Amino acid sequence: MNAAGSSRTALRRLMVEYRALQKNPPEGIFAEPLGEDFFTWEAVIAGPPGTDYEHGVFTAEINFPTDYPLNPPTMTFTSDMWHPNVYPDGTVCISILHAPGDDPNMYETSAERWSPVQSVEKILLSVVSMLAEPNDESGANIDASKMWRDDRARFSEVVRGTVRKSLNL
């Protein structure tokens, strides 16, 4: 399939996923294309109840490749985010967003990585789960990972500040 055909396939898939999200949105999650560009979406995620992120409202951008769903999108928080699995620039680092196939570092199985059966909804639900249960063994933000492991009270304090900032307080 050529690039134009791949792009049309990706666009059709993204339109189907958008309609599904509109019809049955997961609680605490909102996502939609930015304007007419179906390859760039804005997402809004409510902090999961019972976590340090509770009551926060976090925004992110999801950028889809033209060969989606063969390859995963990238997701970047546009609001401040202090989390072991989010790089300081806001880029989310979770298995579901890693390219399909074997992990060159042999940390993840191919089943944990991206596959075309994944969807925008599954990505967003995985991010909510990540917020609730960080993986400090695969830290994207080394400082947040270390704080999560060594000083949970301080970690909670920093996250509460991030939540207040997300609410413009």
Residues with a known catalytic role: 93
Cα dihedral: 159, 48, 113, 37 (round 10):
-90
Measured CA to CA, the distance from residue 102 to residue 113 in angstroms comes to: 8
Cα dihedral: 103, 127, 140, 111 (round 10):
-10
Contact 144, 83 (CB under 8 A): yes
**Of the candidates 86, 102, 97, which has an alpha carbon nearest to the alpha carbon of residue 123?**
97
Token pair belonging to 70: 């063969």
**Of the candidates 85, 80, 79, 41, which has an alpha carbon nearest to the alpha carbon of residue 63?**
41
Q: In which order are the strands placed within the sheet that holds 57-63?
A: 29-34, 37-46, 57-63, 74-77
